[in-house]
Structure 1
Amino acid sequence: MNDSTFQEFCRFFTSFGSIIDVSLIAPSSNLIILQPVSFLNRLDKLFYYSSDDPIVTSHGFVSKATAEAIFNEKDENAFIFMSFLESLRMATKILPGQVSINQQGYYIPNICNRLPLLQCSPTSLHLVHDMNISLSHFKVSFTANFLESYPKAQLDVSQTPHINVTRFCSQSDGLLFELVYLGDIIEFRFSDLDKELLYDVCEHIIIKCHEIMNESDVLYNFAIMCEKPECSCKLQMERHALPFEKDKCKECECFVAMSSKDKDRIEVFNCILKEYKIDKNKILNGDSFSSEDASIVSERLTELSAEGAKAVYSDFMGTASDKDWKDWKVFMQMILTWEAVNKDAKRQFLSKLRSIDLANKSDADKIQQIADSQIKGYYRDKSGKNN
């Protein structure tokens, strides 16, 4: 049997679950799982690990010895399970010098069982993107790439974090930053580093984010939160795309509680992102609808009452004719028509949608929820007004 025939054989039997040819997922892998059900049942022992070992359940760090104990296998066989997870980007190998407890093992964030952190930090660096990519995929890829490129850093397992928080430290400088995964927002929270160290660490972070995001078709941008008081620290809120000058926004300019450290952070963010710019074809700028956004908004608008849906349609289309308000295609056509004649279609659409006065409170709440859910690429203009 030649290589081509063998590959066809593996592809065919993988297609209905008799085997798993991992190379079909990760071309560099040479694993072929011959008994998938048995293999996956064994793998479940890892994800339902019942030990009270906080290093595993709180930090997602599985040492080599722990892996052997979980799978009741010696070195090479336990390695196969971990290699499978690495191929799926659910795990990454950690060398002894790359973790604060100085052990060899694997970082697997999905086995953590702590509650998530759901609060943003005002002057953190936000990586905002237009698709809710896998938690494990980004955290694993970033951890592997960052630790490799910044040898002074270590995975910090000294404190119990939330399931969506990964801590990075160094032996000489303590905590460097926390990566907080919030779905379509990924936040980098920095400790009180001196400006030179902050620049060095942040530069590596931004470079690695560029590399990871450029592997996909996902649009993205870097941003900081606007200091608009009623929005402070909420997940869905207005942000300023970086680079950004604080005095360009009235809300931020009037905000006096910002410390010198906060100002230094923003200055560093600006400086680095002026040098390491996002490719113009990859920028998430809030100006236009992605197909996913348009589909979501269209579907959500069908949840309005008939009166509310008619009012929204009439406001955008200038006609009050009756339609099937439960048909998402009606609203998709409305969005496409709007986008065809408006340069900053999404910005203006969200602004107009928010301004529609609906008598039904349930409808009004749904409109607000729709607008909030689309705010990930929605920034404030230089005057501090919504676009």
Structure 2
Amino acid sequence: MSDTKAHGARGSAGLTILHLATDAYGGYGGVALYNRDAIEGMCADPAVKKVVSVARVQSAPLQPLPDKLTYDTSGLGGVADYLKAVWRQLRANPDIDLVYCAHINLAPVAWAISRLRRVPWMLCIYGIDAWPQYATPRGKFFASRADLVCAVSAVTRDRFRSWCPVPLEKTEVTPNAIHLDEFGIGPKRPDLLARYGLEGAKVIMTFGRLDPAEKYKGFDEIIELMPEMLEERPELRYLIVGKGDDRPRLEAKAAALGVGDKVIFTGPIEEEEKADIYRLVDVYAMPSKGEGFGFVVLEALACGVPAIGSNQDGTQEAVRQGMIGQVVDPDNPAQIKAAIFKVIDAPREIPEGLAYFALPAFTARLQGLIHRLVGR
């Protein structure tokens, strides 16, 4: 346990937060976005003087950085380089008040710093990174010593606690934030309809990484349903958005089922086109089994697209247990089909309950937790 009394006086002129990141700025995907939102929420807090983030991975050019942020990319070369970068920042910033650990793999570093500087530390977990199938004695030892564990969903928190003995009162659910101003209801762009051959079609969509090791997104379930659904609705098309090495297998499966020309693979898409691609869609379906939360569900809802989540993972929380979308059993094809047909002709509408996940709500939650940890 950290000595919070020792750091309280030291940070009296304003808080300094050390953020240990996998990727954030210059990163793709939900975890990188979550980290950017967390960093910007910290920087927006008037009580925070400085945020120092040390990145482990960068795969794209950096996005604009907040004024209070020092973003250190000198540790990208490997574990040794990362540890050296962290050590340099510790020497340059003797007034650290809190350590924010953005991935369970970095928990040993966060724990060591909290012991050295006698400050509290918090750990963020996202999904399968902290589920039982990835449990290790090392992870259990360090993660159980966090002063606070923030999980993106209750499913992730509960599965984490099934193997890591963290008291419930030392955990919080802090779901992803949706930037509502970047989405919204809009017309279907004719050039995108032409690009993907979707003119006159009713479109089902799933967005995610096509990874052979992660066959839980729901792609297989929808492809297997396509022949049956096409008998009733021949205008249906299934749009699979994302990249990965599992694409050849999925393409072969669609071809073998006789729906190869009805299943469209976009490959990677440009970030600036994302909202317009959602707007091509009539229903977003993710009958998945391994999503920690399902941020893409929020993006679809933010464009007015009806969404379907799963009762076996965190997507049920993205649709707020059925309040702003449907929940299905991914092992029940009839249930998935019924849910799709129920909403595929529905008018576009952004549900009021989506505001629960809006960026201001996320920022307020995060800032409240930080103040609770540092005692002011």
How does the TM-score come out when normalised to structure 1?
A: 0.28
How does the TM-score come out when normalised to structure 2?
A: 0.28
